[in-house]
Amino acid sequence: MSGVNLEGIVKAYGALQVVHGIDLTVAEKEFVVLVGPSGCGKSTTLRMIAGLEEITAGDLTIDGRRMNRIAPKDRDVAMVFQNYALYPHLNVADNMAFGLRIRRMPKAEIKTTIDDVAEILGLTPYLDRRPADLSGGQRQRVAMGRAIVRHPKVFLFDEPLSNLDAKLRTQMRAEIKRLHNRLGVTSVYVTHDQVEAMTLADRIVVMNDGRIEQIGTPMELFNDPANTFVAGFLGSPPMNQMKGTLTASGAKIGDAEIKIDGRVGDHAGRDVIVGIRPEHVTLSAEGPSSALPISLDLVEPLGSEALLHATHGDDSLVFKAATNGDIDHLSGVDAVHVPSHLVKLFDAETGHALNFGV
């Protein structure tokens, strides 16, 4: 079992604690993505797994073996860095061979390994080139190649796509996913890009301020965010959040009242945050739903769909609507219809998700 287990992991720099007791289990062959805003402790956590940062407290085990005091080289992990960390004076083949030479692998075996991996990554024609003569995407592939040739138990990715342009990022994202499906190596991937997290992960770990906010599959996190932070972090655009008060059958938001499934009447009068995903609304009533009056500010066409920037009272909202090849019909929108079963509720004070059952 080459899984990774973090138990009560703490990282502190002197009196400043940046990671506050993380518990996480990454199963063998699983692809787990740590996602969160800058400074949330995700990279620090990854670096602690790699052995590049000392663990202040807690236990790290890889493959069932406690790794807290084990040198990085003996953890059998390979890491792909944000800026690729390619040796500028070495060509692609030598960059990929670096770790193997350090480990004194026989030359013939190194060559075979590198040829195989270069073939997988489409790097065979570039083996003699130096990093400066490669494009961003090719460099990224070399960085991955350098990790793959080691055949490690665990891959660690530290924002490997953030230096690429949007198009290349999409392409490389798919390549990483394909590669993981092919190699089946346990992977921990750090990113601040929720799209990367959603598309790549078997499970996502959302982190904030050195703590884990929620762990789950991408769809679990998308459909049932544990709190307002996760709700606001995942999804593009993120979930709309409005202050409201529960009523007998739903919630009052400003002057409007929307229906919500579940026994909300038992908690009538409670202050809540009402969460509505931009893509969950419709422009006409379809099934059990309620109209939410909006004042439209701007229509942003994206092609097949458009973003409607609007306000309701003091709340700024964004909704998605199908264009059907034309946005003229969207300019007169003055209300959106909110399906009652898709409305999310969060505690107004703690921000934790509320579930009142059906």
Partner 1 sequence: MVDENTNTAGQPPEKAAIAVHEAARHHIDDGRLIRLFDHFKREWQIYVMLLPTIIWFLVFLYKPMYGLQIAFKDYSIFRGVANSPWVGIEHFHTLFANDQFIRAVKNTVTISFYNLLFGFPAPIILALMFNEILHATYKRTAQTIVYLPHFISSVIIAGIVITAFSPTAGIINTFIGWLGFEPVYFLTQPQWFRPIFVGTGIWQEAGFGSIVFLAAIAGVNPSLYESAVVDGANRWQMMWKITIPSILPTILIMLIIRIGNVMEVSFELVILLYQPATYETADVVNTWIYRQGLQSGQYDLAAAAGLFNAVVAFVLVMTANTLSRRFSRTSLW
Footprint of partner 1 (CB under 8 A): 50-52, 72-74, 77-79, 81-83, 85, 87-90, 98-99, 102-103, 146, 150
Least separation in angstroms between CB 177 and partner 1:
23
Residue 340 is classified by DSSP as G
Q: Among residues 103 and 178, whose Cβ is nearest to partner 1?
A: 103
Least separation in angstroms between CB 276 and partner 1:
42
User: What's the N-to-C CA distance of the chain in angstroms?
Assistant: 41
**What sign does the CA torsion over 181, 2, 138, 198 have?**
positive
Number of C-alpha atoms within 13 angstroms, CB side, residue 358? 5
Closest to 39 (Cα-Cα) out of 192, 176, 221: 192
Least separation in angstroms between CB 307 and partner 1:
37
Q: Among residues 74 and 297, whose Cβ is nearest to partner 1?
A: 74
d(CA 179, CA 196): 15
Q: Among residues 74 and 165, whose Cβ is nearest to partner 1?
A: 74
Least separation in angstroms between CB 102 and partner 1:
5
Least separation in angstroms between CB 95 and partner 1:
10
DSSP string, 77-119: EEEE-TTTT--TTS-HHHHHHHHHHHTT--HHHHHHHHHHHHH
Residues facing residue 347 across a β-bridge: 272
Q: Among residues 98 and 356, whose Cβ is nearest to partner 1?
A: 98
Q: Among residues 85 and 354, whose Cβ is nearest to partner 1?
A: 85
